[in-house]
Chain A
Amino acid sequence: MKRTVPLMIVMVGGILMMVQYFIPHQYSQAVFDSYVSWAPIIAAFALILGVGSLTRVHAHKIRRKAENWQYSWAVLIPLYAMPVLAHIWPVSLSGGMDEPSIFHFLFMHIQVPIQATMFSMLAFYIASAAFRAFRAKSALATVLLLAAVIVMLGQVPIGDLIAKWFPQIGLWILRYPNLAAKRAIMLGVGFGILATNLKIIFGVERNWLGGAGK
């Protein structure tokens, strides 16, 4: 019940869908259609897992008064306020500016700026790492850094000013050696994914069962 049934579901589901691909018949199509309509519903419930664990972690912090526990309220309050607000002003889901709502405000003016800023910080860290850590310590690292510099210059307008052919070298690296490397990685990763698919379908890889009691 606890391990065998899930392993069976995986195997039956996996093989069924795999075989389905090769059978265009209407019954096979019907299997596929119901899969397409069921999967999003199941996936929607999976969100409960995320919300639940987040609530648990932060409720725990607040209860134990762990370090910086006050901030946990900053997670929990908007977490539950957002869905409530969305249904007080259902129209706000449209994302338009014409009907302002708190829901839309929180998304557009707090979440969007914060998320956009988070990753832009990397620009600063890259500059710092460029100075303090990117070393041409071996022939290979040197090749990498040289290619990087050529591409960096070739991608910006200033590359054109250095020489007309300069960006062309950057493009050449992108279109040929880069493509060769990426294709080899893609093929390798493709086989890796396929092998993982098989391992999971046939129950060789069972790590996904973990964490919910034996």
Chain B
Amino acid sequence: MYEIIGIWVGAFFTLAIYSFLYKENPVYRLAEHLVVGISLGYTMAITYDVVLKPRLIEPLLAGGSWILLIPALLGLLYITRFISSIAWLSRYPIAFVLGTGMGVGFPLTMKSNVLRQLEAAMIPFYQEGMPWHMVLGNVVLVLGTLAALIYFFFSKPHKGFFFGTGSRIGIWIIMLGFGATFGFTVMGRISLLIGRIQYLLGDWLHLIE
């Protein structure tokens, strides 16, 4: 019973959102507002349950973990944001999270986004027994990366063989990449639509399995 009511309610709100395709209307507006409240409310509940309770409140109540009061007080400073005279205090926790986050991220990004990618771009484009389309692919891969980097190079005019031709090839490669993204994005959006149709026709109306 519980599940059946749930599916009917879900179907109602699915159709409420789709009604926007015809015309903006009050039911759509209601659904749109509800979801904002519910999602943040849900996040609050979960955050309390999985963070504050087990990591702060329980250790504190058990005694001994008084050091956890420091992050708790720092966190509470966020609230000063709503009192304009001392709103600047909210910068402290922001600064802590931002600064440490940036520090942790710096070497890891350098390793993962830069060194590792550079290493992978330096590949032998031919090895024995490789089919021709892979060899061609590897050449496109290495020179394409180079060309696309040239396109994003701002310190030189795009003239001459290296920078001129290079950046032109670069933008073509980028467009091919964007074409692939485009195709996949279309596929993704349609997948989501398919998911909803399966819900409406299957879970709700039982017209399909």
Contacts and interface: CB of A to CB of B under 8 A. Distances in A.
A147 B47 contact: no
B173 A41 contact: no
A143 to B, nearest CB: 5
A3 to B, nearest CB: 8
B105 A148 contact: no
Contact of B113 (A14, A68, A155, A189): A189
Given A111-B42, A144-B182, A147-B176, A190 B90 contact: no
Given A109-B6, A144-B179, A152-B187, A14 B78 contact: no
A148 B148 contact: no
Interface string B168-197: 001111111111111111110110110110
Contacts of B110: 190, 194
Contact of B103 (A16, A49, A190): A16
A120 interface: yes
A81 to B, nearest CB: 7
Given A12-B99, A126-B189, A184-B170, A42 B75 contact: yes
Contacts of A105: 2, 6, 9
Nearest to A124: B21
B66 interface: no
A123 B87 contact: no
Summarize B's interface: helix, strand, loop or mixed. helix
B140 A80 contact: no
B121 A183 contact: yes
B208 interface: no
Nearest to B69: A41
A183 B79 contact: no
Contacts, number: 402
Interface residues on B, range: 35 or more
B70 interface: yes
Given A10-B98, A82-B42, A155-B184, A111 B35 contact: yes
B35 A114 contact: yes
Interface in A1-34: 1-3, 5-7, 9-18, 20-22, 34
A213 B10 contact: no
Contacts of A68: 29
Given A13-B96, A194-B109, A197-B102, A52 B179 contact: no
Given A74-B37, A151-B179, A184-B149, A116 B195 contact: yes
B159 interface: no
Interface string A75-114: 1111111110111001001000100100101111111111
B178 A181 contact: yes
Contacts of A163: none
A172 B68 CA distance: 53
B177 A178 contact: yes
Given A45-B93, A93-B46, A114-B17, A190 B113 contact: yes
B6 to A, nearest CB: 4
B118 A187 contact: yes
Contact of B175 (A20, A47, A140): A140
Given A111-B42, A123-B193, 14 more contacts: A2-B91, A40-B51, A42-B75, A49-B90, A54-B40, A82-B44, A86-B48, A93-B45, A93-B49, A113-B196, A116-B199, A180-B144, A185-B177, A197-B102
